Amino acid sequence: MNKILKNISVFSFLFIIQITAFAQVDKTMTICDDYLVAPFVSDGQEYRALLNGDELAEFNATFYGGSIYRVIACSGEAEGNLIFSIYDSERNLLFTNRDYQNSTYWDFKIKNTVNIIIEAELSKTENNSGFAFIQIGFKQ
C-alpha cells in the first residue's frame, strides 16, 4: 500500500510539472502570435526547443524567391529574450537580431529561393533556461 501511494505521488508530481510546462508553452506562443498578423500567415510549422544555458536550437526552412517573410522569436514573457540568427546553407550569416537590440521579429524580402538555418539562443542577461519559439510567416 505504501509503495502504491509513493508511485501515485511521483506520478502526480510529474503530471503537475508537465501541465506547468504546457502552460508556459501556450503563454509564450500567444506572445508570438501577436506578431503574426495580416497580411502575414503562418508557414504551418512549429519551431520550438527547450534551451539550457548556452545551448543553441537550430531550425531549417526554405524561403522562396519573390516572397516577403516575417521571422518571430519568443521566449518567456518579455520581448528580446531570444536571439536569432539566419544563415544560408553554407553558413554565411544573413541576419541576426542581436544587431537590432534582440528585436522580436524581422521582415525579409527574398529575391531568390534560399535554404536557411535559423539558430536561436537565450539572451545572456535573461533566464538560464527556457523555451525558444520561432514562427515564420509569409505575406499573402
pLDDT digits (tens, 9 = 90+) for 59-79: 999 999 999 999 999 987 667
Mean pLDDT, consecutive 10-residue segments, the chain of 140 residues? 58 47 50 88 92 92 97 82 95 96 94 97 77 92
3 state DSSP class of 80 = coil
How far apart are alpha carbons 131 and 140 in whole angstroms? 29
How far apart are alpha carbons 64 and 55 in whole angstroms? 29
pTM above 0.95, yes or no: no
Judge residue 135's burial from the number of C-beta atoms within 10 Å of its C-beta, 0-12 exposed, 13-18 middle, 19 or more buried. Answer: buried
Name the average pLDDT for the chain.
83
The CATH class of 2-139 is mainly beta
